[in-house]
Amino acid sequence: MSTQRLVRIRLAVAYVAIGVIVLTALILTQSFPNVALWAAFAVPFVYLEWRAVEVNDQLMASSTIMVALTGGTIFALEGSSAALGIATIAALGPLVPRDFRERRWFQPAVNFGQLVISAGSAGLALDLLIPSGIDPGAAGNIALVVGAASVAAIVYAVLNYGQVRTIVRLAFGRRDIRPWSGMAMILVSYLVMGVLGGFLGIVYGAVGFAVLPLILVVFVAGHYTFASYGELREAHEATLRGFIKALEAKDLYTRGHTERVAYFAQLIGEDLGFRGSRLERVRVAALIHDVGKLAVPRDLIRKRGRLTEEEYGDLQAHAHVVEDILAEVEFLRPMVEIASGHHSQFDGNGYGGSGHQHGQRPAMEARILAVADAFDAMTSTRSYRMALSQDYAFDELRRNAGTQFDPHVVESLARALARTGERYGSPGFTDEEQARRMAEGRTRGRN
């Protein structure tokens, strides 16, 4: 724990020092751009950076750098230093109110240094490739300027992404993160932004200052809407989570079950390499996997012992009605299907709604949900027995791997929990019978 902290302090100090040195060197040797022009790019950049950090989206991050690159192209065309111009703009990026509110020091410090390095290098590329005083409207020069801006975008992307991944790997001990994996997509989006920055620089050169507000308005509007969209999605998931939590909170024994299953499903999904919308699908499917029970009369859920045939049918009917309602929400339809398949077995047995097809292997997402659900069921206390130990739960999952559960998914959960170092269940209970007797004894004693 303390060695991690030491690593973080060292990294932060080193990056702040490097950032300050690079900035000082640039200020001493280079000519600063026109201040009004600089501010015209610095203000939107800072605004977009704030919004992007609040929502944390890669697409938005790449559009933010487009603003800086357009500025750099224009600085270089005007004969001042793009390196100094962009590096000073980028240095403002880490001044995010959210970090200050939450008293974070590491991210702003490291970001300051790495942004100065990445943006400064991109600016240098622009300075070297664009001769000052050329006519940007001439046919040959258009290709030159656009090419230079693309090179600068690539330089920025490689340095920025590589540094961020390396820092996360070092500072948070995430050995699974490799600096260059997943780079290809990012390069493409930055390249597009670079080409755009180049063209915008040319148009600015030909039209003049009047064109700047027009350029920025469209981007800020798009950006703002994207951020609102991100907030709305968060609100959607938070609402779903909140409602389900509130509804299940009424029952002491299933309280928190949904959220834990969602968490385990997410851990497994991440371990299996799920990302983006596929990971979201698993997480949301886990959130709604028991939603059918919310409409079932409570005494039926909490009934001890076996349900009668009639009661069981009643329970299933209620569960399916709620599933049908949720399936009307287009966004939730695939998740409802996964959720309704979570009682399917790996070998094709079991039962379930639309997501279950007898004799067929269920979808990967449903297999994940089955393991996460079973694991939490065993490691949490129920009305009829105490929580079992984590080791017992894994023995049980492994014993049924290949028939009821997917062996890969079981191992994936074991790996993920070993990595986080968390333990669930009560370590004392390694025997189901014992746990049942304890629960019965306890309630009998209370009554």
Rule CB under 8 A: which residues touch another protein? Answer: 63, 137, 142, 192-193, 195-196, 199-200, 202-203, 206-211, 213-215, 217-219, 221-226, 228-229, 232-236, 238-243, 245-247, 250, 291, 294-299, 318, 321-322, 325-326, 328-332
The label of the residue with tokens 């928190």 reads 256
Rounded least distance, CB 224 to another protein, Å? 7
The number of beta carbons lying within 10 Å of the beta carbon of residue 114 is 23
The nearer residue to another protein, 202 or 388, going by C-beta atoms, is 202
Rounded least distance, CB 287 to another protein, Å? 11
Rounded least distance, CB 162 to another protein, Å? 25
Using the CB atoms, write b or e for 84-110: b if 16+ within 10 Å: bbbbbbbbebbebeebeeeeeebbbbb
HSE, side-chain direction, 13 A CA sphere, residue 344? 28
Alpha helices in 275-406 (DSSP H): 276-287, 298-301, 309-327, 333-340, 364-379, 390-399
Rounded least distance, CB 236 to another protein, Å? 5
Rounded least distance, CB 256 to another protein, Å? 13
Distance (Å, rounded) from C-alpha 181 to C-alpha 168?
Answer: 13
Rounded least distance, CB 218 to another protein, Å? 4
The nearer residue to another protein, 45 or 219, going by C-beta atoms, is 219
Distance (Å, rounded) from C-alpha 188 to C-alpha 329?
Answer: 34
The nearer residue to another protein, 120 or 205, going by C-beta atoms, is 205
Distance (Å, rounded) from C-alpha 107 to C-alpha 157?
Answer: 18
The nearer residue to another protein, 324 or 347, going by C-beta atoms, is 324
Residue of 351, 255, 333 whose CA lies nearest to 294:
255
The nearer residue to another protein, 312 or 331, going by C-beta atoms, is 331
Tokens of 71: 């500025």
The nearer residue to another protein, 204 or 394, going by C-beta atoms, is 204
